[in-house]
Every structure is written in C-alpha cells, then in structure tokens.
Structure 1
Amino acid sequence: MIKSVQLSLLIGPIVPATAPRPVMDALARVEVKTDDTGPSGFQIEFSIDKQSPLQILFLLTGGQPLLFMRCILVATVNGVASVLIDGVITNNHIAPGDKGSNSTLTITGRDLTALMDQSNLSGFPFPACPREARVALLLAKYAFFGIVPVIIPSVMVDVSLPIDETPGQQGTDFAYLRSMADEVGYVFYLQAGPAVGASTAYWGPQIKVGPVQPALNLDMDAYTNVENLHFAYDQERFKIPLLYVYNQDTGASIPIPIPSVTPLNPPLGAIMPLPTNLVPPDLKPFREDAAKLPVSRAIMLGLAAAAQSAEVVTCEGSLDVSRYGRVLGARQLVGVRGAGPAFDGLYYVKSVTHKIKRGEYKQSFTLTRNGLTSTVPTVAA
C-alpha cells in the first residue's frame, strides 16, 4: 500500500513550466499509453467553466493544435518520481456544457517523435555515412529538446563510397529513423526521463533483459496487488524464420533456421512450443528478398522476426497503483505469482496504459513471453 500519489503537469512552449493552480484544479482525467516499439501518446481532460484561462487559451489559438506546446506528466509515488511522457499537443477538442455544467476540453498529444514527423526531407544526402552516423546526425537536431541519443552499432556497418552510392533520406526524420532500424532488425523509440525535460532516443536491438520489477500477485489474499490477469497461449504464432543461403560450389540453396533465443532475448518460459512452419509446404524464406541481402543483415532481420513470433504467451491485466506500490514500467521485465505453474514467472512488459483521475491511479498492461512454466525458481516480491 502506498501513502501518497502526486501528479505534476508541466506545460509551455519549448521549455515547459509547472501548470498554474487554476489549470490543475480543472484537471479531470489523464491517460498515457506507452508501447514497447512505437510512439507514446497521451490525453488530458479538463473540466472548465466560462471564465477559465483554458477557455481563453483555446480561443487565442483558434482551436488549432499547439504542436510546439510541450507537455510533461510526472507521477510521484511514495517520493519516487516517474516521467510518464514528454510530448507535444497534436489535437484539442472542446465540448460545451449543458444546463449550466462545465465544458470539457480534451487535449491529445504524442511524444516528441511528433516533432520529428513534420517535414518531409526526402533526398537529403548523407555521403559516406553508415546508418549509425545518419541516426546521430538526425537526432542532433533535437538535442535542444533534451533528447539524448543511445545508438547501438549493428553488426553490419556498411559505408558506401560517394562515387558508388550516396544514401538519401526518405520521408520525415521519424520515418527515416524507423526505416533504418527496420533494415537491420532494430527498433527506434523515445523513452521519457529519467530527468524531467530529458528523453532517451534509443536506436538498437530490442532488449528483454535487465532489472526485474516487483511481482504482480494474483489471488494471494493480502498480498494481491492486481485487479485481474487474463492469459492466452497461441501456439500457431510460433514460426522459425528460414534463411536460404546459396552455395556457389554445389549450386544449391541451404536453409538456415534463425533461433528465437539470443543473449538479448533469453527464454522467459521453460517449455516452448514446436514451430508450426517446419513442414514441407511451409519451408519458405521469411522474406522474399532475404536471399538478395547480405547474410549478416538477413540474419539480423531474421532474429527480429523470430523474437516477435516467439511471443506465444500473452497476459493482459490491470492494477491499482495504490496496491502495487509503484509505477509499472513498459520495456522492462516483471514477475507474476499466483497464476499457477504454467503462467508464473518472468514476463516482458510490452505496453502500459496509465489512467489517472482524482483519488485514483490505475494501469492496464500487456505482458508477453515465449513459453510456459517459469525459468526461475522465484521472482522478486
């Protein structure tokens, strides 16, 4: 059980400031969704009267979204601050009240990737630059917003001579960053925090290792800290990607299965299902163009595809932060207890949705792993 939960809102152009008291008094509801590989989004709902400063702000902007109006939401639980999101407003909507009731102003926004998704700079050249250098150059433009790049070099760092080929940007900065990550089986996302006003731009392989968050306890009397958990097991989802390598000496193509278990994606379930595609009709490459790609790049793409298809166990649930005692974070590991021997153990937190209103802070979440039965004897309480 926790003793205190405090929500802080910072809002303003470029460098946000703490919201004034009238704005916080009008705050009715907050929802923030964080996904493991995609952009994060938020929605803030205000209950305002006719004299509210929020009414004036809405009129001054002509009802248009304030793209450069930055919003930071911070939840402080038992003295520990967690930055839920650092983003900008992309849309707003107002519903006038009826019969003397207050109006409802709803602000919708997205993390700072919205700023990277505005200008289409297709054709901008990057001569003699590997992907990692291009990523660094693109992210350098957003250092003013407190974005710190974390770039993991791929196993295939290729640099083409300008006389042979000059890479050019395709689409917006965000689209190009995502496409370069897809080309080598990587992910790109922004992680708000840990300091207020700072974000981490991660470009690298998806990582499913690290510190384990306190366990989610189900049906354990006074130790229960979740409202519900629902598990699903989809064996048909598990497919091992096949990579065909052409042997010039024999003139034959040799199929190479790509494993779903790597040091960055260890097995979280002890009993994994049998792959459903290793029978003659399904012995197809995981990508039609895989044979034309360099072997190292094709292997990286295969590892990413294998990690996604191995998530055969899915858990969806919800919790009350006042019972859990802290904020459950996405892109991390968490333990589960009390669900039975088949589903207890460690899971990867794929997505989390924060739902906050006065006197209530709840989270809904999705967990995944690659098999049944725990690989560890105990999980952190």
Structure 2
Amino acid sequence: MIKGIDLTVLFGPGVPLPAPRAVIEALQSVKIEENSGEVQSGFELVFALEKNSPLNTLFLLAGGAALPILRVALVATMNGQAISLMNGVVTKADLAPGAGGAPATLSVKGKDLTATMETFDFSGLPYPAMPPFARVALVLAKYAWLGVIPQVIPSMESAPLPTEKIPRHQDSDLAYIRALAAEAGYTFFLKPGPAPATSFAYWGPEIRIGEVQPALTVDSGFATNCDELSFSFDKSEFEIPIVFIQNPQTKAPIPIPIPSAIPFLPPLGLVPPLPPKINRMKDTARLNPFEAVARGFARAAQRSDAVRGQGSIDVVRYGRILRARNLVGVRGAGMAFDGIHYIDSVTHDLSRGSYTQKFTLKRSGLLPSSPSVAV
C-alpha cells in the first residue's frame, strides 16, 4: 500500500489465511485502534465492492450468515520487520450501495479477541482452592485454539480454604477477568503478536519500564518527525490513597498512606504535583496487610497521571510504527514536557500511499527524569 511498508491481511474461520489478490485490490483503507486498560482495541476495513466481487461472500460471512466467528489478522512489514497490528474477530459489517457508476462500499468492523470472551455466561463455575491468578489462567486456557498466549502475573491474594469459601465464576469470561484484575489492582488486555493470528493475554500490573521508542520531535527544523503534539497538565484527579489494615487482637484500624513512588511505575516526570485530595480506602480492612498495600499501590498508579499529551505522526517520516503500552521520548515540546512518556493509545490510519498514527501520552509529573532520550 505504501512504499517501504507492506500490509498483510489474513481472514477466515479457525486459522486465518492470507486474503486473495482480489480482496487486497479492493481494500481502500484500514483503521486500527490500539488501546490500553479497559478499552477494547478494534479495527475497520473499507472495501470497494463491485457487483461480481468475491467480497459479497465475505459480507455474508461477516454478517454471521454461515460462520459464528470470522477472524481477521493484520500484519505490517516495515524495514523487513513484520509487526502484528491486530488479531481479532469481525463483529459488524455495513454495506453502502454505489451511486453514479461508483462501486458500493463494504465496511467490516471488529474487535480484538476479547470480543470472544463476552459470548457466554459461565456464572456458577466453581474454583476450589484457586487464587485469582490461577482462575485467570484457567479461564484463558479455553482460548488457546485462537492463538491466545497467557501472561499472568501472580497477585498478593492467597487461595481461600475450600472449607471456608469456594470462589465461583461471575458473568462472562471477560467481565470476570476484569473484576479479578480490579480487585488485585491489575490491568487486563490482549496484545497482538508475536506471530500473525496470535495474541498475548496480559493480566498483571501496568508496567512502564522497558525499551524507549525513538523520540517524537517537534519544532526542531529538519529533525522534526511529529506533525502535531500538544500537552495538558491536570492534577485534579491526583490523590494519595490511605489503606486501612485491622489489628487482629484489638480490631482497631491502622491507616497506612501510600507514597507516590510505586515500584513498577518509575517516575517518568521529575516533579509530581502536590495531591489535592486524599482517598481513604476503608474496604481494605478485611484484607491482609500485603493485599491492602498492593491495592493501595494500584489505586495510586491509576490516579498518578497529571500530564496528558496527544498528537499525530507520519509513519514513513518517523521511521517506525508507534506501539501503545510502550515508552517513547519527546523532544522540542519545552522543558516541562520533554522526556519519556507512556503511550496510552494509538490509532493507525492506512490508505493507499499514506500511513499516519494518532496517539495519546501520559506521565505523572513535569520535567524529564532522564537527561536525554533515544533519537
């Protein structure tokens, strides 16, 4: 579609296969939303539909006339490196008839594989003597045939004794996994890769460490590689959580303030804002001290991002594909906002001859914590 960048489209039931040439030639544009946290990632494929096109069959399949699940995998190859952008299923198809000799337009929309986890309600299924992470691993095991690879990080919560309590499944698989993540202070998402038609299912703390992608540069002459970039600073949601643990002898609650320094979230900003409010987490008194402190750290992590940014890039000019849930450097935005940021979401827009990305960034404070960023 673009010089130096190739897009591979795979679709089909079970194991998706490369799309035939007629389908690729009819493809007009691709949009992929890659999100973190609770927002599902999704995609949209737009085709020019001729009367005798094989895409008519695709439309029937996408509409659910013959298959319960139609899988779609999208892979971009840039500089010889294949990058899996989406591994999902079709959830909706729209057909707009052509007019004045123009072909009809077929729009195929879908979500990542979390959509398959909303289909059935397994309420009541028992999990005797299983801690939360073991329950999550067992739930994800049933999606191995879709290429889902579990990445489950054990939480602080211990397994309840069967003589006292037997946990039971509530609602759909996705709702139950997210509920367990919220209780542990974790996040859950599916990340495409490492191979086409596979995905990592991550259940664990939101980690902001690792490789830093090349800097987004603005207002720097020939080094500029970012079309738009703006930032905002809002500390209204920033807070200090206070967890309560209970003394088993006296039954007296003991308050423990949670510091802003979180082990798995190193400060990307050098100067965090002063917290305008305090949150007393009284529901932690029933937990053991380790579980209570872990939940406090999770709450602090969710409320620690006072700096937000958004912008757009041309992928060819930037030189690589920007990925969500990773770190990226910023240059030229001013001393307050330069440095390393966490990429919260990315929207890919591909059409013939064009590949642009819109993104949102976040971090805890002002001023860079690192004196330099990768170029």
Match of residue 292 from structure 1: 286
Match of residue 179 from structure 2: 179
Check the 8 A contact 2:323/2:343 in 1, yes or no. Answer: yes
Which of residues 325, 331, 334 in structure 1 aligns to 2:328?
334
- Secondary structure of 2:122's match? coil
- Secondary structure of 1:326's match? coil
- Secondary structure of 1:57's match? helix
Look up the equivalent residue of 2:210 and give its one-letter code: G
Check the 8 A contact 1:186/1:203 in 2, yes or no. Answer: yes
- Offset from partner CA, 1:328-381 (integer Å, 9 cap, x none): 011111000011111100000011110111100000000000000001110000
Match of residue 145 from structure 2: 144
- Offset from partner CA, 1:22-69 (integer Å, 9 cap, x none): 100110111111111232111111111111111233246767595511
Check the 8 A contact 2:60/2:66 in 1, yes or no. Answer: no
Whole-angstrom distance in 1 between the partners of 2:252 and 2:123: 40
Look up the equivalent residue of 1:308 and give its one-letter code: Q
Match of residue 196 from structure 1: 196
Q: Which moved more, 1:60-69 or 1:324-333?
A: 60-69
Residue 155 (structure 1) aligned with residue 156 (structure 2): yes
Residue 344 (structure 1) aligned with residue 348 (structure 2): no
Residue 125 (structure 1) aligned with residue 126 (structure 2): yes
- Offset from partner CA, 1:248-280 (integer Å, 9 cap, x none): 7777544321123223101001111101015xx
Look up the equivalent residue of 1:214 and give its one-letter code: P
Look up the equivalent residue of 2:195 and give its one-letter code: A
Whole-angstrom distance in 1 between the partners of 2:240 and 2:66: 45
Distance verdict in 2 for CA 1:373–1:144, change over 3 Å: same
Give the alignment's TM-score, normalised by structure 2.
0.95
Pairs within 5 Å for 1:353-364 = 353-364=347-358
- The CA deviation at 1:213 is 0.6
Match of residue 299 from structure 2: 305
- Secondary structure of 1:73's match? strand
Pairs within 5 Å for 1:100-115 = 100-115=101-116
Check the 8 A contact 1:86/1:111 in 2, yes or no. Answer: yes
- The CA deviation at 1:162 is 2.0
Structure 1: runs of 5 or more not aligned: 279-283
- Secondary structure of 2:178's match? helix
Q: Which moved more, 1:326-335 or 1:54-63?
A: 54-63
- Secondary structure of 1:136's match? helix
Whole-angstrom distance in 1 between the partners of 2:101 and 2:55: 18
Distance verdict in 2 for CA 1:44–1:177, change over 3 Å: same
Q: Which moved more, 1:69-78 or 1:256-265?
A: 256-265
Match of residue 70 from structure 2: 69
Look up the equivalent residue of 2:286 and give its one-letter code: K
Look up the equivalent residue of 2:340 and give its one-letter code: L
Match of residue 364 from structure 2: 370
Look up the equivalent residue of 1:289 and give its one-letter code: D
- Secondary structure of 1:22's match? helix
- The CA deviation at 1:310 is 1.0
Q: Which moved more, 1:351-360 or 1:52-61?
A: 52-61
Match of residue 268 from structure 2: 268
Structure 2: runs of 5 or more not aligned: none
Whole-angstrom distance in 2 between the partners of 1:369 and 1:129: 35
- Secondary structure of 1:300's match? helix
Look up the equivalent residue of 2:227 and give its one-letter code: E
- Secondary structure of 1:376's match? coil
Whole-angstrom distance in 2 between the partners of 1:60 and 1:326: 34
Match of residue 4 from structure 1: 4
Whole-angstrom distance in 2 between the partners of 1:204 and 1:61: 33
Match of residue 226 from structure 1: 226
- The CA deviation at 1:297 is 2.2
Look up the equivalent residue of 2:109 and give its one-letter code: T
Whole-angstrom distance in 1 between the partners of 2:66 and 2:349: 23
- The CA deviation at 1:161 is 2.4
Which of residues 313, 316, 325 in structure 1 aligns to 2:319?
325
Whole-angstrom distance in 1 between the partners of 2:225 and 2:165: 57
Distance verdict in 2 for CA 1:65–1:336, change over 3 Å: farther
- Secondary structure of 1:222's match? helix
State the percentage of identical aligned residues: 49
Whole-angstrom distance in 2 between the partners of 1:107 and 1:62: 9
Match of residue 281 from structure 1: none
Distance verdict in 2 for CA 1:236–1:291, change over 3 Å: same
- Offset from partner CA, 1:88-113 (integer Å, 9 cap, x none): 00111111111221111111111111
- The CA deviation at 1:82 is 0.9
- The CA deviation at 1:294 is 3.1
Give the alignment's TM-score, normalised by structure 1.
0.93
Q: RMSD of aligned C-alpha atoms?
A: 1.9
Q: Which moved more, 1:224-233 or 1:147-156?
A: 147-156
Distance verdict in 2 for CA 1:320–1:128, change over 3 Å: same
Q: Which moved more, 1:60-69 or 1:50-59?
A: 60-69
Check the 8 A contact 2:121/2:171 in 1, yes or no. Answer: yes
Distance verdict in 2 for CA 1:66–1:311, change over 3 Å: farther
- The CA deviation at 1:189 is 1.0
Match of residue 19 from structure 1: 19
- The CA deviation at 1:298 is 2.4
